[in-house]
Each structure stands twice: as C-alpha cells, then as structure tokens.
A and B are shown apart, each in its own frame.
Chain A
C-alpha cells in the first residue's frame, strides 16, 4: 500500500518535472531560433564582405529563416496537450500572414488616418487642415485633373486597343505571334518604359538632326520639332501613352480569352440574319464579354489611380504633370510633411473603396464560406 503511494508520488513528481522540462524546451527552442536569426540580421547589416557573397548569405538567411520559423512554430504548438495543440494548429499556418497583413496594410490604414489629422511632425492636432489642403491646393487640384485624365485615357486606351487587337488577332492565322509581341511590354518596368519613350520623344533644336523618332517623323513632313515632355497640357497624354503601351497586352490577353468563349452558334446566327461584321461585334460579341471588359477596366483604373513611376521618371511632376501619388511622395520625402502625406494617402484609399465594396459583395455571394 505504502509502496504503491510512493510510486504514485514519484510518478507525479516525474510527470511534473517532465512538464516543466517540456515547457522549458518549448520556450528555449523558439528563443534560440530567434537569437540565431537576429544574429544573422546584425551580421548582414554590419558585414563588409563582397556584395555577391552578402547577397547569397542574405538569400539563404531570409528564405531559410522563414521556413525555420514555420517549422519551429509547428514544433512548439505540438509540445502542448493535444486538445490545445489542435486549436492552435491553424494559426501556425494563417498566423504569420495575418500578423504581416495587420502590420503592413490593416493598421497603416488606421494609423495614416490618425496621422492625417496632425501637423508635419505629427505633434499638434490640426483638424481637417490637411484635407482642406488636399482638396483645395492648386497643385493638388492639378493632380486630381491629371489623375482623372490618366484614368479615362489610360483605361480607355488600354482596353480599347486591347479589344481591337484581340478582335483582329482572333481573325488572323498568325494570332499567337502578334499577341506575344503586344504582350511583351508587360514584363518591362515603368522606369524602363519611361526611358524607352523618353527616347522616342527626344527633342533637339530646329536644324539639328533629330534622334527621337517622333520628332524625326515630324521634321520629315516639314513640321517643327516639339519638346513633347514639356509641352503643356499635351505632355500628360504623352505620358499616358506609355501606360497604354504597357497595359494593352494585359487587356488583350484577358479579352482574347473571353472572345474564345463566345459561342460560334450565336455569331453564325447573327451573320445568317444579315448582320455585317461590325454589327456582329457591336451587338453580339461586346455584350457577351461585357463583364470581362468591366473587370479589365477596373484593374487598369486602379493602376492608373496609383500611377507614380512613370511621372517620377519622366518629369518628376514638373510641367503640369503632377498626379496624386507623386504629390504624396513629395509631401513625404521633399517636404517631410507626414500629415499632408497621410491625408493624400487616405484620399487614394477613399478612391478605391467602391472597388473594394464590389469585391466584397462578389465574395460574400461565393459558396463554401
């Protein structure tokens, strides 16, 4: 009897020790992981090794670090009693994403809203002054008008050209080859495209030989060369042309796929009823692919709304080409005015809320959630 009790006690004590040990280990392992990763970060920051070596170490450290964190998190969760471990398990998978999204997108929206009510150094409350600035300052108004131009012409141009090329290519035997050339600029950065088109628009005074294609063509026909990039207000259109050149390929690919989905039977029926090609396109094909056109337009509207790189590279916002995103950048880095910068960012978010609302509505209709 007594013997039994002591052995029970011993077992209990042993169990307690084991739990304690397990707890210690499950704190120790993540701690070691953290220290190792932090050490790597400090090393990368201070190290004077050749850049290529640093690059390789950085890549291994960064990617390996994330994989390791997942593994350690899973390992730690499995130290817990099964019932708790099962509840924690899903957060091993979605937790990192949720933390990063909260830090990088969700909280910043609230924090920017908060900052937009304060002055440049975020010290004194200024009420709506930054928003008054955002909606009345001449430069800001200029950027609104320009951005509207970007949205209308950029989206209209890309979708229109995309539709035209998709329709034409659909009727050609060399469809693939044509399409892949139009599609190529999608791989090119806004900055690279900026350089490509600056070169097309390059200007030299009258009398010198023009090295920019556009001015060379003009002078060929006896007209005077123009400094396109500084030519108000048309310069905006020359910048928007770059976006159209870049985004037409995207519109074309999506629209082209939708065209393949139009049943040939209704097209044939239209033709038999005597409709010409344009009539078939206007009354049958376009209504059929209308939702696709809306989706593509929405995507390009959002891209045009946030346009920054092209303006930054081509004009830096001078010569009347300022847009909302370039104004925001200037407030942040040229004037160090975090209040105005935040207010402009909030304006951008407000501008996309209709799309966000639409997306959420579509999503709530979706089955399975």
Chain B
C-alpha cells in the first residue's frame, strides 16, 4: 500500500470509529443532560436544544427522586409545590445493604472452596467440581419457585439474609471456577513449606492463599458487584416490593410504570442507579477485564 492510500484508509477507520462511539455515547449524554433540566424544558423540547438555546440547569429532579413522600420545592414561577418524591435515597441504602454482603459472602465461601478443591485431598473431589462446572450455565430461573417456597416456610422472604444467600448461591459456580483456576496455579513449594512448618489449613488459607489471590478476588468482586447491584429479577422475587427493602433497580422499574412520561424524574432516577457501578467500573476496569479474559459464563 502506498503511503497516501494508507493515510486515507486510516482516516476512514477513525471516522467510522467516531461515528460508532457517538452512537454509543449519545444515549447516555442525553440522559444525563435531561436529568439536569427543568420539568417543563424536558417535556417540551429535546435535550439537544441546550446546545443552541439558552436554558438553565437544575438539581430539582434529583431532589425530588431522592426525597421522601413529603417533598416540597419552589417551581419556576416561584410557587411552593408539594409533590411526592420517589425516596430513592432509601432505595440507595437498601441497594448497598443488599450488595455489600452479597459480594463479600460468596467471595469468602468461593475462595475457601477453591482452596479446598485445589490443595486438599478428599473423597468426591472430582465429582463435586464437575458439578460446579455443570452449574456454571444453569439459569437461575430454575431456583426461583423452590427457593421461594422454602423462604415462605422459614420466614426469609423480604429479609436481607434471604437475598444475600440467594446471590451467594447464584454467584458461587462462577466464583469457585474462576478462583480455582487462579489458586491452582500458585506454586506448590509455597504450600509445602507452610504445611511442613506445621501450619493449619485455615492459617495457610488466611495468611497465604487469600493475599496471593487478590487480583482474582478483585476481578470476581467487580463481577459480583455489578451483577448484584444491577439485578432486578432476584430482588423482585425474594425481596418483595415493599419500599422498606426495595432496591434501586426495583424502584426505577416501578417508576417506569407509574411515571412513564415524567422524563425529568426518570432520567434523574436512572442516573442515580448508574452512578455507583460506573465509578467502580472506571476505577477498577483493569481487574474487570482480567476477569472477563479468565472466561465468564454465568447462570
């Protein structure tokens, strides 16, 4: 190829990339801009009009969706208006309460199991691990009805413990599988010298395996975090719809139903749901990509 055609080729590549990237980014930009516009602006003109007309931005939408039921605000004409908020701040706390243990508990259990499978000898080791591999792709829908019946019997429906355990169960196959692949590559000598020194397995696990597996645990933590925070189905089934416990995704889905045309609120609500995963994602992208590479099929 001559240098000239190569340059032209490169320009074409970059131009098509820019078009594609815009296609991907514009919906998010539109959402964010709309969430900052006043109600009447959002409902009467497209968000792109702020590029060529003067309009004011406001946090009122965020105040309303985060606020509780007795939310009041001053509208553009200066009147004080009472409106019902969506109490997303409560849902935000609920989401954190559901997510943090739903990430740490399966990580603890999965890393212990991965250590056991990789470095301890016991009957049924191969059969059990084969079962773990088989369960990698089992759709979690299969568990909804039986587990819901169990929960109703022992009073776990609508409880945090119930949903932590559910997320633990559904996250374990991938967790054990990925961590096993990582833990089993730790050099044998490290363990042997520790065991020769008389260290107990629990000590070896806590002092050696956990610190050495930090990269794998980190990438798994991001997976599980995004999965749990963004989950709707498991929360709908096991947590129930009461606003005491409902998480962000549930509240947002409800808002779509009840406030389908209130775009100023929906956009603000959607952004609140997105903000934490986006921060985590950008801060820890490196680990996330490593985890993806390690192979990810989740049930």
Write the residues of chain A forming the contact surface with B, with a CB cutoff of 8 angstroms.
41, 44-45, 51-52, 54-55, 58-59, 62-63, 66-67, 70-71, 74, 78, 87, 89-94, 96-98, 100-101, 103-109, 111-112, 115, 161, 164-165, 168-169, 171-172, 174, 178, 180-192, 194-200, 202, 209-213, 216, 245, 248, 250, 253-254, 257, 277, 295, 298-299, 302, 305-306, 308-309, 312-313, 316, 325, 328-329, 332-333, 338, 341-342, 344-346, 348-349, 352, 355-356, 359-360, 363-364, 368-369
Q: Contact: B263 with A211, CB < 8 Å?
A: yes
Q: Contact: A96 with B113, CB < 8 Å?
A: yes
Q: Contact: B31 with A359, CB < 8 Å?
A: no
Q: Which residue of A lies closest to B296 (CB)?
A: A299
Q: Which of B56-64, B69-77, B78-86, B132-140 contacts A (4 or more CB under 8 A)?
A: B132-140
A189 to B104, CA, bound (A): 20
Q: Contact: A165 with B20, CB < 8 Å?
A: yes
In addition to A66-B105, A111-B145, A187-B281, 5 A-B residue pairs with Cβ atoms within 8 Å of each other are A101-B135, A195-B269, A250-B292, A312-B233, A348-B142
Per-position 1/0 for B6-25, Cβ under 8 A of A: 00011001101100110011
Known contacts A97-B110, A360-B133; is-contact A59 B138 (Cβ 8 Å): no
Q: Contact: B165 with A112, CB < 8 Å?
A: no
Q: Which residues of A contact B176 (CB under 8 A)?
A: 97
A355 to B138, CA, bound (A): 10
A89 to B262, CA, bound (A): 58
Known contacts A58-B160, A100-B168, A105-B173; is-contact A313 B28 (Cβ 8 Å): no
8 A-B residue pairs with CB within 8 Å: A44-B159, A45-B159, A93-B113, A96-B113, A105-B140, A187-B274, A192-B252, A328-B141
Write the residues of chain B forming the contact surface with A, with a CB cutoff of 8 angstroms.
9-10, 13-14, 16-17, 20-21, 24-28, 30-31, 34, 42-48, 90, 93-94, 96-97, 100-101, 104-105, 108-110, 112-113, 115-117, 120-122, 125-126, 128-150, 159-161, 164-166, 168-170, 172-173, 176, 184, 200-202, 205, 226, 229-233, 236-237, 249, 252-253, 256-257, 263, 266-267, 269-270, 273-274, 277-278, 280-282, 285, 289, 292-293, 295-297, 299
Q: Which residues of B contact A107 (CB under 8 A)?
A: 146
Q: Contact: A105 with B143, CB < 8 Å?
A: yes
Q: Which residues of A contact B253 (CB under 8 A)?
A: 191, 194, 309, 312-313
Known contacts A90-B121, A100-B165; is-contact A187 B145 (Cβ 8 Å): no
Dominant secondary structure at the B interface: helix
Known contacts A191-B249, A302-B137; is-contact A90 B45 (Cβ 8 Å): no
Known contacts A196-B27, A277-B9; is-contact A168 B143 (Cβ 8 Å): no
Q: Contact: B90 with A181, CB < 8 Å?
A: no
Q: Which residues of A contact B277 (CB under 8 A)?
A: 187-189
A53 to B121, CA, bound (A): 43
Q: Which residues of A contact B295 (CB under 8 A)?
A: 295
Q: Which residues of B contact A295 (CB under 8 A)?
A: 295
Q: Contact: B142 with A346, CB < 8 Å?
A: yes
Q: Tell which of A74, A185, A302, A360 touches B130, judged by Cβ atoms closer than 8 Å.
A: A360
Q: Contact: A104 with B139, CB < 8 Å?
A: no
Q: Tell which of B16, B46, B267, B274 touches A216, judged by Cβ atoms closer than 8 Å.
A: B46
Q: Contact: A309 with B134, CB < 8 Å?
A: no
Known contacts A96-B112, A209-B45, A277-B9; is-contact A55 B146 (Cβ 8 Å): no
A106 to B130, CA, bound (A): 12
Q: Which residue of B lies closest to A51 (CB)?
A: B93
A114 to B45, CA, bound (A): 55
A185 to B168, CA, bound (A): 25
Q: Contact: A196 with B230, CB < 8 Å?
A: no
Q: Which residues of A contact B161 (CB under 8 A)?
A: 41, 44, 62
Q: Contact: B229 with A112, CB < 8 Å?
A: no
| Most A Cβ at <10 Å: residue of B109, B164, B184 | B109
A359 to B296, CA, bound (A): 12
Q: Which residues of B contact A183 (CB under 8 A)?
A: 285
Q: Contact: A189 with B249, CB < 8 Å?
A: yes
Q: Which residues of A contact B28 (CB under 8 A)?
A: 184-185, 196
Q: Contact: B145 with A342, CB < 8 Å?
A: yes
Q: Contact: B233 with A309, CB < 8 Å?
A: yes
Q: Which residue of A lies closest to B261 (CB)?
A: A202
Q: Contact: B139 with A306, CB < 8 Å?
A: yes
How near does chain B come to A114, taking the closest CB pair, in angstroms? 9
Q: Which residues of B contact A316 (CB under 8 A)?
A: 257
Q: Which residues of A contact B104 (CB under 8 A)?
A: 62-63, 66
Q: Contact: B169 with A192, CB < 8 Å?
A: no
Q: Contact: A196 with B31, CB < 8 Å?
A: yes
Q: Which residues of B contact A254 (CB under 8 A)?
A: 292-293
Q: Which residues of A contact B13 (CB under 8 A)?
A: 168, 171-172
Q: Contact: B17 with A306, CB < 8 Å?
A: no
How near does chain B come to A81, taking the closest CB pair, in angstroms? 16
Q: Which residues of B contact A216 (CB under 8 A)?
A: 46, 48
Q: Which residues of B contact A98 (CB under 8 A)?
A: 113, 128
A58 to B280, CA, bound (A): 22
Known contacts A101-B135, A308-B232; is-contact A185 B299 (Cβ 8 Å): no
Q: Contact: A359 with B137, CB < 8 Å?
A: yes
Q: Which residues of A contact B205 (CB under 8 A)?
A: 93
Known contacts A66-B108, A90-B121, A178-B21; is-contact A192 B136 (Cβ 8 Å): no
Q: Which residues of B contact A70 (CB under 8 A)?
A: 108, 112, 202
A359 to B44, CA, bound (A): 53
Q: Which residues of A contact B263 (CB under 8 A)?
A: 199, 202, 211
Q: Tell which of B20, B165, B231, B266 touches A195, judged by Cβ atoms closer than 8 Å.
A: B266
Q: Contact: A199 with B135, CB < 8 Å?
A: no
A100 to B129, CA, bound (A): 14
How near does chain A come to B182, taking the closest CB pair, in angstroms? 14
Q: Which residues of B contact A213 (CB under 8 A)?
A: 26-27, 30, 46, 48
How near does chain B come to A353, taking the closest CB pair, in angstroms? 9
Q: Contact: B147 with A345, CB < 8 Å?
A: no
Q: Which residues of A contact B297 (CB under 8 A)?
A: 298-299, 302, 355, 359
